[in-house]
Chain A
Amino acid sequence: EAGVAQSPRYKIIEKRQSVAFWCNPISGHATLYWYQQILGQGPKLLIQFQNNGVVDDSQLPKDRFSAERLKGVDSTLKIQPAKLEDSAVYLCASSLGRGDEQFFGPGTRLTVL
């Protein structure tokens, strides 16, 4: 069974630029999560989707971050414009359903200069 796929693995941009990350969850997984992990901290949930609907986006900085999950499969997370403090690893995870084990992708390491 293929795991959660994410791309790109690394991205370096300058502040005020835009960036997008892509996630393809495990086939059949209805729930998809985006976490932000700042260096030295544990991951923090940005947004959770159930199929193509948003379950929780309370910690998503909506003035600059957006996410979508069209057709309830893969998802994109966008930052526009990026700030220095957005430098982090962005982890995508998926689970079969809301209460099931979450499987994580390899992450995208973003550096904002």
Chain B
Amino acid sequence: AQKITQTQPGMFVQEKEAVTLDCTYDTSDQSYGLFWYKQPSSGEMIFLIYQGSYDEQNATEGRYSLNFQKARKSANLVISASQLGDSAMYFCAMSPWGGATNKLIFGTGTLLAVQP
């Protein structure tokens, strides 16, 4: 069975500093996608970044980068130059490829608080 583990319930970071949010995953599939979503207090899920299991380069999207270590089954999110607006819940998720469903399997999330 596929599983996502986020071990940090909450994190604090000073504005303008970088922060790493941890994510490990468990799957027997060879092909899968890894995602990070941001959920502000308003409730919507905002897509941040995607990494395919066969991608050799780490994904980057603006201030977001995904530190993908396939052998360790980890997909940590790095946010550089944190901003006050980054305060939110962050979810790591994975999706299998090739099967009937591409449902997202989410972790329990990490609540990030950016301090001025």
Contacts and interface: CB of A to CB of B under 8 A. Distances in A.
Nearest to A104: B45
Interface stretch (A15-23, A67-75, A79-87, A95-103): A95-103
Nearest to A33: B103
Interface residues of A, number: 26
Given A40-B108, A101-B50, A45 B103 contact: yes
Give the interface SS of chain A, mostly helix, strand, loop or mixed.
strand
Contacts of B103: 33, 45, 48, 56
B104 A102 contact: yes
Interface stretch (B13-21, B64-72, B76-84, B94-102): B94-102
Contacts of B101: 45, 48, 55-56, 98
Interface residues of B, number: 22
B43 interface: yes
Contact of B43 (A41, A98, A101, A107): A107
B106 interface: yes
B43 A109 contact: yes
A104 B42 CA distance: 13
